[in-house]
Amino acid sequence: MRFAIFALALFVTFPMPHSVFADQGLSDFVVRIDGHIAARLNKEGVTPAILIGDTEFIRRVTLDLAGRIPTVAELDDYLQSTSVNRKQQLVQRLIDSPDFVFQQRDQLDILLLQRDEYNDPWREYLLEAARENRPWDKLFRETMLPEEFAAADKRPVAFLKRRTNDLDAMTNDSSVVWFGVNISCAKCHDHPLVDDWKQAHYYGMAAFFKRTFQTRKGFLGERFDGLTKYTDIGGKEHEADLMFLTGQRVDLQPVEAEGEALKKIQEQIKKAEQDDKADDPPRPAFRPRAKLVETALGETEKRYFARNIANRLWARFFGRGLVHPLDQMHSHNPSSHPELLDDLTTELGQSGYDLRRMIQAIVLTDSYARSVRHDATSSMAPEWFAVAMPRALTPRQLSLSLRIAGANPTQLKGAMGEDWATKREQLERQADGVARQLAIPDEDFQVPVTEALWFSNNQSIETDLLSGSGDRIIGFLKEKKDDQQVVQAATRTVLSREPTEEEQQAIADYLASRSDRRESALKQVVWALMSSPEFRFNH
Amino acid sequence: MRIQSLNRRSLLKAAATGVVASNMSALDVLSQPALANELAREGKSVILLWLAGGASQLETWDPKPGRRTGGPYAKIKTKVPGIEISELLPKMANQLDETAIIRSLNTKIADHGQAYTLMDIGRIPEPGVHFPHLGSIIAHELGQIDSQVPDFVYMYTQTEGRRQDSAGYLGARYNPMFLTDKMMPDDLHRLDAISDVDHHDRSALRDFMAKRFIRDLNNPSIGSHENAYSRVQGLMASDYLFDIGREPQAMRDHYGPTQFGQQCLAARRLVEAGVPFVKVARAWWDSHGQNFETHRELCADLDHCMSALLEDLKQRGLLSKTLVITLGEFGRTPQINGSLGRDHFASAWSCTLSGCGIRGGTVYGKTDDDGHTVVDGEMKAGDLFATIFAALGIEHDKEHMLGSRPIPLSDFGSKPCREVLA
Amino acid sequence: MNAKNLKRIDEWTSQDILFCIAQDCVNSRLWVGSSDFKIYEVDLSKEKPTRIEFQGQHQSYVTGMVRVGQMLVTSSYDRHLQWWDIVERKLIRTVRAHEGWIRRVIESADSKQVISIGDDMQCKVWDAESGSAVASFSDHQSLTPHHFPSMLYAVAASADGKWIATGDKVGHVALWDAHRFEKVGELETPVMYTWDAKARMHSIGGIRSLAFSPDSERLAVGGTGKIGNIDHLEGPARLEVFNRASGQRELELEDKNKKGLIEQIVWSPDQQWIVTAGGDNNGFITIYDAKSGELQHQEGQNGHIHGIACDETFANIFAASHERISRWTLA
């Protein structure tokens, strides 16, 4: 097996066709992705890192698709499989599993709300969307125009709701999240370094949101009137056009009411903003925010919309975007692989913004399966994607993985039967407390010392995670008499791999010197494995 | 976001001498401890006394007795000829020679939340950029990356107006150690269930496992994970710093019995041990009703604790390298409302800087006779930050690169107030 | 007279805050003490009453005022008592009286003495004529239980000349023999003091007014009830009435309608009513039935009321208020 991988690595510039795919289109797509990456490597004259083995692959892909480390049973199943399609089968199983839905929900939550708030109804909405693999453009419509596309449903309002009081937040966060463009710097003056972003773009975007308000009932609406004005650095005042980030303009329509009629509508709106018993105010026929959605998804601009999510999906699995940073998609910051980004964008559009399919393709590429290590003497530029980047686990990945690693593996195997969906939901809830305490990794994420202190000294680690009861890993290890077995079982359970000889020796020695306090020693060993960077990162 | 620290002056210097300047990212320091800031070795620190809710400038540093807005309190002479402050601060009056009063802050925002943010980060916040708190910037500039003591400790015991400060784009490494209802940080003590020896050996076993894994990996995030665990034992050993019970009774008496006093004492213990930034919040000054009664109470606390702190720092030789900032989110209205209260006011208010890098015994800026407007030396939040950085020997216009965007330490266009600098 | 008749009939606005007031029923004159540190006479006989400034001034807010014969005695945050000639409208004497802000000055039953209290927590008795000190005594802690400065806000003398009562910030009342100046009793009204240990870590409230009933048998204590958000005077106006001899609390009244501090209490001469005045951001006068405690009537006004003076017939009440003087009638 090891040899086979090595051989593959040598032929990386001529990607091997993947053997059997149920979906030929998907299979071709996977090959094309690798082709684009290989082309750049070729150009740079770089030999990429080797492909990882099965043991490393199942951990990486399970974390990415199921949001947790694999169980020992999953590990065994995969390693024992003799199927030539076992990788495809594994990915398919994970994508079809209840785990994937939770993981996808969590990733969407981080992307859209950045967990600035923890909003249960919103998370429920995202779960529902993830479950039915709701297309990205539909999600966009529903969250940006909840009053039209999810009229009776308050849940998707959350995205704009927490920003309705702050026009700048609505303008910039929407630009960042949906279009990969951070234009905050163009608020006070044209962007000093990026020609694409003028003040007119900032206020052009702001104009789409200017009329948005929130009713006391918790729904969104748009006013009949309201113009966006701004002053340039010369002190000259301008009235902003409705202008999309690409420069595409939307004609402003005349206000649909005037005089007393307008005044009455304004009062109705004011009432609805303040009183949860007020009637819903009337809606104008011309609604700038609806125009934004229409423009962004329109024939000429939709690639702009699709490019962002293609780039963000790529970054989720590779630790950096093809355009990097993710909110700097502009002409001065080109993609490292323009053809690849084009291909991903096209494919996403043609598939009807099918995120699941895109994810499936990405994790099946060789590019995804590179090792985090390489033996090149010179450093590898990260934008070559020649070597994988270790990625810190999200709070929920870490919390869930601690629960999986902390459980008795035999019992866990039993749990992963028919009713796994129910059990998985319980697990999700159990992971809540710890997940909420941890920081969400961003670029250049740093682990705060409070995390290390918490893991070192918090009572809950001792009494919950490392409890000696039978349903926990310590309870399981306690039953084993042989230290070799203990070391092996602990390493497999926590780190999803076999121990090295050196580790076997060191840990066995550690246990032997604590034979008078064996349970305590077992806890210390498991703690040492769980607190290692190998556990904390996806690699 | 990728952070790069660029320093225009040092780049110029490097260019002039032919030294190749590297764009050292904040995180590169992790792998190059030898390059850790020179400033750290000088042992400079900051204590921020945060007067949450907004103290009245008229009842503290900028009294206007006899004016319609002046309130009932008199002004008193200080140790420095020509400088007078409110009679509510008699102890500070006696040792004003180490303190510069700034009477000309005009920060405009008079809403608690937004003003708090403004004085936290020294600029108007923007969506999409997470600006770091002053303390995080200072910790980043003055702290040692592998420091065995915390580098930003933040105490805020009262619940009103309390909020967590964030290191923003500098990263979680520089988040404060946040103390709320307890004086001792969480998770700083070993559990009884594990012996000291096992606690250490367990760490050694962890390090053994980690070492094998991180070999050949040059990843800053993983570096930060190692860094966090490498600081655990040191931080646990620093628990005594938070324990003011270890101070002689005379010293505890010196700071007095109030919680603010105890926290000021803890702050001194922390900076003495090399903690670069300690923020002690004293809430809540929001005297919409009974402004004069409230200030009689709270100024007594401030006067005693601040003067005790300055005196203690001075006696220990620490004041020359410790900058004490007394600041809130804004001041209070000159006009007195029907409840004998003063409301939120950010157009002409005061703060003080004492100690390190400060020309003591100075007053900077001037408000009009009734205190409605600044008539001389107007300062914005960014200017105050620039002044703070300058007092510590940090270049205020040093830039971080966020994506394609340069962000200077203190806001664009801000400049230090040389008049209050030593 | 009917409490229900209470109504405000005049209001003279100004730019200063008026803290204290005395009146001259014979000549329709008022005197007020101001936040501009000065004393004014107000002639009500004029169609548009004007203020006439006295010669001389305090060095801070004028917080207390009492008329003794042809003199006014005033107190101030400047720590001084001042004696004024009413006719000449000028300062006669200035006495440094307290080592802390003086909160109030009143007269003894026979008008031969004046009694002041201040934040040095002392109650001091002075010869009204000569201004010489007669006695100084205290039963009030200078620090609150939470180590912050306390304040001595209220003092009253009984009509029978036998008793003095003093009340402080934390709700402690001391009763004194008015001749020997020895403490003869004490009362506690802890609800008047709100200490917020958790959210804001400071306090608000305190006993702001004391008044003996005309028969000297009862003592009314005024202030404010517990306050949730101590940034504002949002607590109920609170009145407690005690039996002087037994120390028993006979009435405990809280008014959530007109909130804030009770700054002054006046008993009707027939002992039927208790008139309270004070406020939060605005002012109120509230009249209670002195026996049942039932609220008889109340009216509000713009501007917190700091002090009131009633004429001898009890038909008119004058209120020194935030940026105004108001005149009320019960007739």
Q: What is the pLDDT of residue A1?
A: 39
Between chains, do B128 and A510 touch, taking CB under 8 Å as contact?
Answer: no
Which of A38-42, A371-375, B33-37 is least confident?
B33-37
Do C and A touch (≥3 CB pairs < 8 Å)? no
DSSP assigned state of A464? I
Short-list C214, C188, C191, CA closest to C203: C191
Residue A189 pLDDT greater than 90, yes or no? no
Task: Assess whether the previous peptide bond of C195 is cis (omega < 30° from 0).
Answer: no
CB contact at 8 A, C76 and C93? no
pLDDT band at C213 (very low <50, low <70, confident <90, very high): very high
Which of B202, B236, B400 to mutate against chain A (most A CBs within 10 Å)?
B202
**Partners of C154 in the β-ladder:** C167
ipTM for this prediction: 0.95
pLDDT, residue A377, reads 75
On whether the CB atoms of residues C38 and C53 are closer than 8 A, the answer is yes
Euclidean distance between CA atoms C167 and C149, whole angstroms: 15
**Residue A497 backbone zone (phi > 0: left; psi -120 to 50: alpha; other: beta):** beta
Beta bridge partners of C8: C328
- Given this model, what pLDDT does residue A9 score? 40
Q: Which two tokens stand for residue B393?
A: 């020997």
β-strands C209-212, B349-355: how paired?
unpaired
Distance CA A421, CA A428 (A): 10
Number of Cβ atoms within 10 Å of the Cβ of A399 = 24
Residue of C nearest to B157 (CA): C198
Contact status, residue A450 vs residue A458, Cβ threshold 8 Å = no
By 3-state DSSP, what share of chain A in percent is helix, strand and coil, each rounded to 5? 60, 5, 35
- Please judge whether C204 and B258 are an interchain contact, meaning their C-beta atoms are less than 8 angstroms apart: no
In chain B, the residue whose alpha carbon lies closest to the alpha carbon of A507 is B205
Question: Which residue did the predictor score with more confidence, A178 or B405?
Answer: A178
Beta bridge partners of A407: A472
For residue B206, the one-letter residue type is R
Can you tell me which residue has the tokens 């929001």? Answer: B286
The whole-number average pLDDT for the span C59-67 is 97
Total Cβ atoms within 10 A of residue B237: 12
pLDDT(A3) > 70: no
Describe the crossing of helices A136-144 and A302-318 by its angle, rounded to 10 degrees: 110
Among C124, B269, B167, C11, smallest CA distance to A439 is for: B167
Band the pLDDT of A83: cuts 50, 70, 90. Answer: very high
Interface chains of chain C (3 or more CB pairs under 8 Å) = B
Q: For residue B143, give the 3-state DSSP assignment.
A: coil
Q: Are the Cβ atoms of B126 and A459 closer than 8 angstroms?
A: no
End-to-end CA distance of chain B: 36
Written in H, E and C, the secondary structure of A301-340 is: CHHHHHHHHHHHHHHHHHCCCCCCCCCECCCCCCCCCHHH
Q: Does B210 touch chain A (CB under 8 A)?
A: yes
**Residue reference for tokens 């925010």:** A289
Residue in chain C nearest B298 by alpha carbon: C202
Distance CA C161, CA C163 (A): 6
pLDDT at residue B331, rounded to an integer: 98
Chain A environment of B203 (Cβ under 8 Å): 456
Angle at B110 between CA B109 and CA B113, to 5 degrees: 85
Q: What is the pLDDT of residue B22?
A: 32
Dihedral angle over CA of A409, A412, A413, A417, nearest 10? -170
**Tell me, what DSSP letter sits at residue A465?**
I
Q: Residue A395 in 3-state DSSP?
A: helix
Q: Give the span between the Cα atoms of B333 and B286, in whole angstroms.
A: 11
Per residue of chain B (422 residues), give pLDDT as tens.
444 554 433 433 333 333 322 333 333 333 333 344 454 447 899 999 999 999 999 999 999 999 999 999 999 999 999 999 999 999 999 999 999 999 999 999 998 989 999 999 999 987 678 899 999 999 999 988 888 889 999 999 999 999 888 899 998 889 999 999 889 999 999 999 999 999 999 999 999 999 999 988 888 899 999 999 999 999 999 999 999 999 999 999 999 999 999 999 999 999 999 999 999 999 999 999 999 999 999 999 999 999 999 999 999 999 999 999 999 999 999 999 999 999 999 999 999 999 999 999 999 999 999 999 999 999 999 999 999 999 999 999 999 988 767 899 999 999 999 999 99
Instruction: Compute the distance between CA of residue C117 and CA of residue C119 in angstroms, rounded to an integer.
Output: 7
What pLDDT score does A13 carry? 40
- A537 shares contact with chain B (CB less than 8 Å): yes
Residue A485 CB contacts under 8 Å (≥ 6 apart), including other chains = none
Which has the closest alpha carbon to B327: B86, B76, B74, B99?
Answer: B99
DSSP tag of A520? H
- Mean per-residue pLDDT, A485-492: 97
Asked whether the CA dihedral B107, B110, B115, B116 is positive or negative, the reply is positive
* Cα A372 → chain centroid: 20
Residues in contact with B415: Cβ distance below 8 Å, sequence separation at least 6, in sequence order = B383, B386, B396
Alpha carbon of B151: minimum distance to chain C alpha carbons (Å) = 27
Q: What is the mean pLDDT of residues C264-291?
A: 96
Question: Which residues of chain A lie closer than 8 angstroms to B209, CB-CB?
Answer: 503, 528-529, 532, 534
**Residue in B72, B160, B289 closest to C232 by CB:** B289
Check whether C135 has a pLDDT greater than 80: yes
pLDDT given for residue B38 in this prediction = 52
| Strand B45-50 versus strand B322-327 pairing type | parallel
Q: Is B413 on the interface with C (CB under 8 A)?
A: no
Running DSSP on this structure, what letter comes out for residue C192?
A: G
Q: What's the pLDDT score for residue C246?
A: 97
Q: Can the peptide bond before residue A288 be classed as cis, meaning omega within 30 degrees of 0?
A: no
CA distance C214 to C305: 23
Element (H, E) at C158: none
Q: What are phi and psi of C10, to 5 degrees?
A: -145, 155
Residue in B72, B257, B288 closest to C147 by CB? B257
Contact check, Cβ <8 Å, A444/B222: no
* Residue A60 · residue A66 · CB < 8 Å: no
Contact B297 C203 (CB under 8 A): yes
B8/C291 Cα distance (integer angstroms): 81
Which band of pLDDT confidence, cut at 50, 70 and 90, is reported for residue A17? very low
How many angstroms separate the most distant Cα atoms in chain C? 54
B160 and C200 in contact by Cβ < 8 A?
yes
Task: Using CA atoms of A512, A518, A521, A522 in order, give the dihedral in degrees to the nearest 10.
Answer: 110
Residue (of A206, A253, A255, A195) closest to A229 by Cα position:
A206
Confidence of residue A115 (pLDDT cuts 50, 70, 90): low
Sequence letter at residue C123: C
Q: For residues B355 and B392, what is the distance between their CA atoms, to the nearest angstrom?
A: 10
Partner residues linked to C253 by β-bridges: C239
Compute the average pLDDT of residues A44-52.
95
SS3 of residue B91 by DSSP: helix
- pTM for this structure? 0.84
pLDDT digits (tens, 9 = 90+) for C81-113: 999 999 999 999 999 999 999 999 999 999 999
Residue A36: pLDDT band with limits 50, 70, 90: very high
Beta bridge partners of B126: B129
Q: Does B65 touch chain A (CB under 8 A)?
A: no
Give phi and psi for A434, each to the nearest 5. -70, -40
DSSP sequence for B201-265 = HHHHHHHHHHHHHHTT---HHHHHHHHHHHTHHHHHHGGGGG-GGGS-HHHHHHH-SSHHHHHHH
List the structure tokens of B175.
């988040």
Contact status of B188 with chain A (Cβ, < 8 Å): yes
For residue C168, the surrounding DSSP H or E stretch is strand C163-168
Tokens 């995969």, located at residue: A78
The answer, yes or no, to whether B and A have at least 3 beta-carbon pairs within 8 Å is: yes
Q: Quick check: C171 and C157 in contact, CB under 8 A? A: no
pLDDT bucket at A414, cuts 50 / 70 / 90: confident
Compute the distance between CA of residue C92 and CA of residue C37 in angstroms, rounded to an integer: 16
- Provide the angle, in degrees to the nearest 10, between the axes of the packed helices B134-142 and B381-391: 20
Q: Express as a percent the part of chain C with pLDDT over 90.
A: 93
A480 contacts: CB under 8 Å, gap ≥ 6: A486, A489
Query: What tokens appear for C130 in the block?
Result: 């000569």
Where does the pLDDT of residue A5 fall: very low under 50, low under 70, confident under 90, or very high at 90 and above?
very low
Cβ distance C49 to C39 under 8 Å? no
- Alpha-carbon distances of A274 from A159, A161, B88, B267, C151, rounded to whole Å: 20, 15, 44, 46, 43
Q: What is the DSSP letter of A49?
A: P
| Minimal-distance CA residue of chain C relative to B259 | C201
At C306 the three-state DSSP class reads: strand
Q: How far is B230 from chain C (nearest CA, A)?
A: 36
Q: What is the pLDDT of residue A22?
A: 65
The pLDDT score that the predictor gives to residue A21 is: 55
**CB distance A474 to A467 below 8 Å:** yes
The span from the CA of A477 to the CA of A467, in Å, is 12
Report chain A's mean pLDDT, rounded to a whole number: 91
CB-CB under 8 Å, C279 with B338: yes
Q: Report the run of H or E that residue A33 belongs to, with start and end.
A: helix A24-44
